[in-house]
Structure 1
Amino acid sequence: MARPKAARPARRDVERPPQGLPDRDTLLKFIRDTGEANRSEIAKAFGLKGADRRALRELMRQLEEDGVLGRRGRRGFSEVGALPPVGVADVVERDPDGDLLVKLTKAEDAPLVRLAPDRREAVAGAPGLGDRLLVRFERLETGEVEARMIKRLGQSAHRVLGVVRKSRREVRVEPVDRKSKETLVLSGVEDLEDGDLVLAQVSGGESRYGPKRGKLLEVVGREDQPRAASLIAIHTHGIPTGFSSEAQAEAEAAEAPTLAGREDLRDVPLITIDPADARDHDDAVYAEPDKDPKNEGGWIVWVAIADVAAYVRSGSALDREAREKGNSVYFPDRVEPMLPERLSAGLCSLRQGENRACLAVRMVFDRTGKKRSHRFVRGLMRSAAKLSYEQAQAAIDGWPDDRTAPLLEPILKPLWAAYRTMLIGREKRSPLAIESLERKIVISAEGEVESITPRVSLEAHRLIEEMMIQANVCAAETLEGKKTPLIYRVHDAPSQEKLQSLAEFLGTIGIAWSKGEQPRTERFNRLLEQTRGGPHAEIVNEVVLRTQMQAHYSSENIGHYGLNLDRYAHFTSPIRRYADLIVHRALIRALGLGQDGITDGDIAQIKDTAERITYAERRAMAAERDATDRYVAAFLSDRVGAEFQGRITGVTRFGLFVRLAETGADGLVPVSSLGGEYFIHDDRAHALVGERTGQRWPLGMSVEVQLREATPITGGLLFEMLSEPMAADKSAPRPRLGVRRRAEGRPQRRGGRRG
């Protein structure tokens, strides 16, 4: 099959040039207007032949020697330093402020350009050092040029994180990124061992044949190292690690809080309820009946949050590094914290029985769950108890232990009673009720995966979640009321394109979805309730989730669609999210609670901060997902050949993505292994359809697969399909025999599928 031609950069409209050999200025103007051109294109545009073509070659050689023209790839030319509207660029550096810098791939003379953090959907594939991106170059009003990512294309060959493979003749570095096909050959590295994880860089010009030559930058670890999965994710996605000596010194100099300037909350029996293995505790709760006769059946709910703003001051080294990190990053075996341990697990952690600085909100709810009022205080608290979700839930369910038994009547039962009242208001609001099936990866002391189990959703989880949501709403309402700038947590309604795709999928399983009706959250919840417990429940939940937009941070409010709230701001986790720290500072300034509130400098860059931390969140999500994939692949690597039950969760032209019921692992069934006929991707029906028989592999189908390959270093799983396809849909139009899109490749004979 002929290799498809590479896409050419978009050309601007160019006036037809005068015919004949151009002078220097005319030629430069033509190249400037076109953005990029090769000699043949220039000769054709000016109608040059014979001797004029040779003269053109000499003129361009002179312009290149003078530093006026620069090469673009093998044949193209452009003005030195010129950038196209859209181009492929490598992420090559990080500046002192933490910004990523990109460089056009095929231009040695191209300048380094700042990559603007992007809050849109495209940022889901958050880039890091060494990534190759499709970007749009934009000139700002200041004259500066910045790049905005359109798509992440994978790891570039500028820097490659890979595994050393040694042979008698050479040392190669094979990339750990499944999207990257680049391999480098190293020289002068006799000390490296097979299986070393290294960071390498291209050392010379491109070679037309065979792998490129590279130089060793850093030995990162070993591929067989138990904790290699998270190490690879950290390096691949450019997760900032550690802290400067200056930031560490600031953290070590922090002192225990006093009552000065604070309200004494130590008599309020606030408790923390967290995962059993949590090391930091940044929120505590307490509830009691409201004694106001005008609010019979109402409740007072306290939510106290660690006062991180008291220790991380604007402009400090701690602040600069927290802003760069954006958030803590959580892997199955480790945490890369936003703040040093002295603060995150020490003075800012609401430890049982220890005095801690806090910013607390006292909320009053009526008997229908409606919030009547709230007020913020800057206080000094002392946690009455540290409980796990499981402990608290067991106590409420009638199985208290030695720790929870004394707390059951005075603290836990009032908390649950208040929550159930708040739940009345939540149900009226009708936020999206998507069920997210999460898996817990249990790592042994040696760093091996012991088990992968579903995370159990308890009422205790939902109690803390609802109380945190209400505290976040209070923060946004207060700051709006005081007209103080803040960073909102926003979530837009689904796009028409996504709703169209949802409607088409639902039609394939016999569920009607009116396209004219507004996509309110209640409507999605009715759909989820309608299918709950049925054969399509899991995939409908998954597709509804995919229909939603991604939440992000913004200095402008558009509301939070998923929670069905008009205003929302993150306030409850300042130990691990920079957004919450900014909201804390804003509250301190707006309410006159101290001199360490949000500064004019913070406000001036609040839009940029919102974009940065959205980018950091996407980066963390991508890194956490990649590490999880690698741990899952390692766990399954000794079960190659085993058979599993699963469900088709993705349909593409190159194969089917199947999620295993046992572990939640996702892997690929290549289309080439599905059968002896050509399968066409029907994107409207969300299925692969046999060209000859019409047999179908639709989204959501339950299947049995065999694990053929598990690659821990990349996190890749490859399955072979054991189930038979569904029969042809007689009501659907059959694909015409022989009609194939060249881009979809040639059909291949299937492998040894069991009959």
Structure 2
Amino acid sequence: MTHSPLPDGLTRDAILSAIKAQGGRLGKREIAKALSIRGDDRIALKRLLKDMEDEGSLTRTAGRDYALPNELPSVTVVQVIDRDVDGELLCQPLKGEGEYPTIRLAPGEGAGGKNERAVGIGDKLLVRLSPEDDGQYEARIIKKLGGSAHKILCVMRKNENGSGRLIPVDRRTKYELIPVKGESAKANDGDLVMCRLSSEKRYGLKTAIIEEVIGDANSPRAGSIIALAEHGVPTGFGAAELEYVKNIAPVGMEGREDLRDIPLITIDPADARDHDDAVWAGPDEDPTNKDGWVVLVAIADVAAYVIGDSPLDQGARARGVSVYLPDRVVPMLPERLSNDLCSLREMEERPCLAVRMVFDRNGNKKSHRFIRGWMRSAAKLAYEEAQAAIDGQGTGKAETLKKDVLEPLWAAYRVLKDARDRRDPLNIDAPERKVRVNEAGEVTGIERRERLEAHMLIEEMMIQANVAAAEALEEKKSPLIYRVHDEPGSEKIDSLADFLPTVNLKWTKAERPTTQRFNKVLDMARGSDHWETVNEVVLRSQSQAVYDVRNIGHFGLNLTKYAHFTSPIRRYADLTVHRGLIRAYKLGPNGQSDSEQVQLERIAEDTTANERRAMAAERDAVDRFIANWLSGRVGGEFEGRITGVTRFGAFVRLHETGADGLCPVSQLGNEYFRHDERAHALVGEGSGNTYRLGMSVKVRLLEATPLTGGLLFEILTPPEAGKKPPHRSHRRDSARREDRSSRSRLRRRKK
């Protein structure tokens, strides 16, 4: 189709200049006004804007404005969001929308020092940005934001005269505090206390006010208390929530489809206290779908109890997710819901929101239908019980259910697995470890979670239900919160491509990343000494999944439409999807309100942030429990593997426990080791000998600090032999980024 010529003054350069003059983003109406485009000429403007968006010279913001891609102001506010493969801090604009190049803190920035806390993930900074030759940005800190209002979790340490010092528990914080006069009397020696800075002295130690005394820092459960307080995870429920829950009456069957004759069962971890999903499968009786299967996934009807904008709903939205720590769960919803009214208990009738899915003999979904139902769980099984029955070693109720319930479930799963294998989602093997604690909160062991076929069965059926939810809401043109996972960024792919040749594997940088390409790399590494390392590096190369109202698909699962539907007890995003389905398909009361629909974007952002907060707290609590367990083995020797290298040392993961710790450069011997970013290695300046990512090492535990979760190692294994570098190449052995930083400074001086 041939388009008419563009009107005078309407060019690509004119549009770009207009947007740039207005700070980098502008709506279509404002662009037309700036370029004096009127009447029918607006059609040509709309066409040109679409062409520029398709070719990548413009992007669209969440507010549907047009923006210049990859443009950032020289001074901006950023948040530290991640570490790269080598442990360096990465940032993103705090108010930014769309895709931006990598922002990396310059070498030495934010490292902390005397009387200064080191920068870490989650910190907000005012920075000055300098563009680099490779399209990235280097950031230098102008100011750390929010410090004056920052609350710090500390341990009170008292002297004989009764005066005290406050020792921060955050491993990034490198200064002590002095209690304001009279504050020391609030706490005993060894107590955990929450403090607020009372002064910002330029020199000397800062003073602080004790706002809350939490408890004994040496108690077995201190690891969880510290992690929750440090990350600001809300615990407990407000008075309005508790009063609301107390007055909730159980809902009845009226208006619901009766599913009680279907033997739905729950399959969960053996120690699970809540059961929010149940499954059933059987042959499709439709003669046109020979050898096809019907799968029913029933989810607790949380929307029936958590009414939009009620005190209970407001509290659940603020928490966003449940938090799972070694010794406790911090639930999103009060126990009367999570463990009673919304828990699909064995042989008890419960309201549910279910999806009935029909699959053909090849595992392709033919149809789905959502049901506001009334069910009765036929059995509560642990993964291990269900698996044992299928493997011919069943006992008790699992064996009783084997023929009529479990075998059809497994037969349907194998059909779904065939379709999954054709889809070829990312197949990373990331072993999980569970910290076992007794009733007193003391660690009794650390074990690797076994991944059974029963786990994969439930996972795949939940995935199919989530896909159906996204498709169903799209069919009704209803707004929703997707679970999205972007493909890896170019810098992470470049880093992966640099690493793989060190283990005799290859990635061509020009290749577009696909799950099939990643899986090929993983398959080639399988069975080799580098298997765990390659898995780790491929995992680190991935983007993080988020909640978003804009659908970009789920890269890791290789799905185009995906939403979280299957766990509204512990994820607020799922609850919004339930309400959306109830409204869109007229499934009864308590559907999504107009108010919630217009807030979905904000809810997605908040829930993503709350999820990150929970993950950080869970990780830090595990670190502290493990450090506590290992504190009695200081001086012992362990086998491990180098999982990261930075300018300041090597991170080592122990095989026995999965614990991570640092071996500082100072513990690598008399030789000075430089960080070679491209090789992912620490290289001896004189000898060329190397400690590289993935190298198996024996270490000695020098220090275990339960308060911070920190482990300090000395590597006992000699470095791998290397080639002695000529004197003139020493600078090339240093990090590529440090060289790039030096070139940037030189360019700025020339200007």
Return the TM-score normalized by structure 1.
0.79
- In structure 1, the residue matched to 2:192 is 197
1:330 paired with 2:321, answer no
Instruction: Please give the residue correspondences for 1:652-671 in structure 2 after superposition, counting only pairs within 5 Å.
Output: 652-671=646-665
State the shift of 1:151 in Å. 13
Cα distance, 1:191 vs. partner? 5.1
Q: 1:155 to 1:195 in 2, by over 3 A?
A: farther
Structure-2 change in CA distance of 1:320 and 1:693 (3 Å) = same
Alpha carbons 2:223, 2:621 under 8 Å: kept: yes
Structure 1 residue 134 corresponds to structure 2 residue 112 = no
Aligned to 2:308: 314
- SS for the counterpart of 1:353 is coil
SS of the residue aligned with 1:644?
strand
| Separation in 2, partners of 1:88, 1:366 | 49
Shift of 1:399: 1.1
Does 2:445 align with 1:454? no
Report the equivalent of 2:474. 480
Structure 2 letter corresponding to 1:697: Y
Does residue 689 in structure 1 map to residue 688 in structure 2?
no
SS in 2 for 1:394: helix
What CA distance in whole angstroms lies between the structure 1 residues aligned with 2:717 and 2:389? Answer: 45
Mean CA deviation greater in 647-656 or 164-173: 164-173
Alignment of 1:309-458 (within 5 A): 309-458=303-452
Alignment partner, residue 742 of structure 2: none
The answer to whether the Cα contact below 8 Å between 2:650 and 2:662 also exists between their aligned partners in 1 is yes
* Aligned partner (choices 716, 720, 736) of residue 729 of structure 2: 736
SS at match of 1:504: helix
1:475/1:571 contact within 8 Å kept? yes
2:173 corresponds in structure 1 to 180
**Could you say what secondary structure the match of 1:717 adopts?**
strand
Mapped contact 1:129–1:237 kept (Cα < 8 A): no
Give the AA of the match of 2:174.
Answer: K
Classify the secondary structure of the residue corresponding to 2:640: strand
Match of 1:546 in 2: 540
- Structure 1 equivalent of residue 579 of structure 2: 585
- The answer for the alignment partner of 2:489 in structure 1 is 495
Matches within 5 A, 1:191-270: 192-209=187-204, 211-270=205-264
TM-fit CA distance, 1:214: 1.6
> After superposition, what is the alpha-carbon deviation per residue over 1:302-331, rounded to whole angstroms, capped at 9, x for unaligned?
000000000011110111111110001110
Distance 1:453 1:461 in 2: 17
How far residue 203 of structure 1 moved from its aligned partner, in angstroms, is: 2.2
Is residue 159 from structure 1 mapped to residue 154 from structure 2 by the alignment? no
Partners of 2:560 and 2:79 lie apart in 1 by: 39
Q: Secondary structure at the match of 2:288?
A: helix
Q: Which residue of 2 aligns with 1:75?
A: none
> What CA distance in whole angstroms lies between the structure 2 residues aligned with 1:358 and 1:684?
53
Q: Matches of 1:574 and 1:346 in 2, distance apart?
A: 14
Q: 1:391 to 1:321 in 2, by over 3 A?
A: same
1:703 is paired with a residue whose SS is strand
Q: Which amino acid aligns with 2:501?
A: G
Residues 84 and 244 (structure 1), Cα distance of their counterparts in 2 relative to 1, 3 Å cut: farther
Pairwise mapping of residues 19-58 of structure 1 onto structure 2 (< 5 A)? Answer: none
Distance 1:708 1:481, change over 3 A: same
- For the residues of structure 1 that align with 2:716 and 2:548, how far apart are their CA atoms? 47
Letter in 1 for 2:197: V
Tell me how far 1:517 sits from its aligned partner. 2.1
- What displacement does 1:130 show? 13
2:160 aligned residue: 168
Q: 1:715 to 1:117 in 2, by over 3 A?
A: farther
Match of 2:515 in 1: 521
**Paired residues of 2:282 and 2:408 also in contact (CA < 8 A):** yes
8 Å Cα contact 2:79-2:94 kept in structure 1: no
CA distance in 1, matches of 2:338, 2:475: 31
Kept in 2, the 8 Å contact 1:284–1:305? The answer is yes
CA-to-aligned-CA distance 1:112-153 (integer Å, 9 cap, x gap): xx9879999999x9x99998521579xxxxxxxxxxx99997
Contact in 2 for aligned 1:131/1:154 (Cα 8 Å): no
CA distance in 2, matches of 1:192, 1:432: 51
Q: Percent identity?
A: 56
The structure-2 alpha-carbon separation of the partners of 1:128 and 1:479, relative to structure 1 and needing over 3 Å to count, comes to farther
Name the CA distance, whole Å, in 2 between partners of 1:328 and 1:167.
40
Distance 2:141 2:359 in 1: 46
Distance across 2 between alignment mates of 1:698 and 1:130: 25
Letter in 1 for 2:576: I
Does residue 305 of the first structure (1) align with residue 299 of the second (2)? Answer: yes
**Structure 2 unaligned runs (5+)?**
1-72, 81-92, 105-109, 111-117, 129-139, 739-751
Contact 2:124 2:144 in 1 (8 A): yes
Contact 1:691 1:735 in 2 (8 A): no
The 1:177/1:122 distance shift into structure 2, 3 A limit, reads farther
> Which AA in structure 1 matches 2:195?
A
Q: 1:267 to 1:328 in 2, by over 3 A?
A: same
**d(CA) in 2 for partners of 1:673 and 1:582?**
52
SS at 1:450 equivalent: strand
Partner SS for 1:293? coil
1:348 and 1:729, CA in 2 relative to 1: closer, same or farther beyond 3 A? farther
Residue 692 of structure 2 is aligned to residue 698 of structure 1: yes
Q: Distance in 2 between matches of 1:118 and 1:392?
A: 46
How many angstroms apart in 2 are the aligned matches of 1:152 and 1:594? 53
Asked if the contact 1:430–1:522 (Cα under 8 Å) also holds between the matched residues in 2, the reply is yes
What is the CA distance between 1:222 and its match in structure 2?
1.0
Contact 2:626–2:659 (Cα < 8 Å) also in 1: yes
Query: Equivalent residue of 1:736, what SS?
Result: helix
Q: What's the CA shift for 1:518?
A: 2.1
1:296 pairs, out of 273, 290, 303, with: 290
In structure 2, the CA distance between the partners of 1:539 and 1:118, relative to structure 1 (3 Å rule), is farther
How many angstroms apart in 1 are the aligned matches of 2:630 and 2:288? 61
Alpha-carbon distance change, 540 to 205 in structure 1, aligned in 2, over 3 angstroms: closer
Letter in 2 for 1:328: S
CA contact (8 A) 2:642 2:652 kept: yes
Between the aligned partners of 1:338 and 1:734, the Cα distance in structure 2 is: 60
Choose which of 696, 701, 718 in structure 2 pairs with 1:707: 701
In 2, Cα distance between the equivalents of 1:611 and 1:119?
Answer: 13
* Structure 1 contact 309–585 (Cα < 8 Å) conserved: yes
SS of the residue corresponding to residue 403 of structure 1 reads helix
Structure 1: distance between partners of 2:691 and 2:215: 42
1:521/1:303 CA distance change after superposition, 3 Å: same
Question: Which 5+ residue runs of structure 1 have no aligned equivalent?
Answer: 1-82, 91-113, 138-148, 745-755
Distance 1:698 1:662, change over 3 A: same
1:257, CA displacement in angstroms? Answer: 2.6
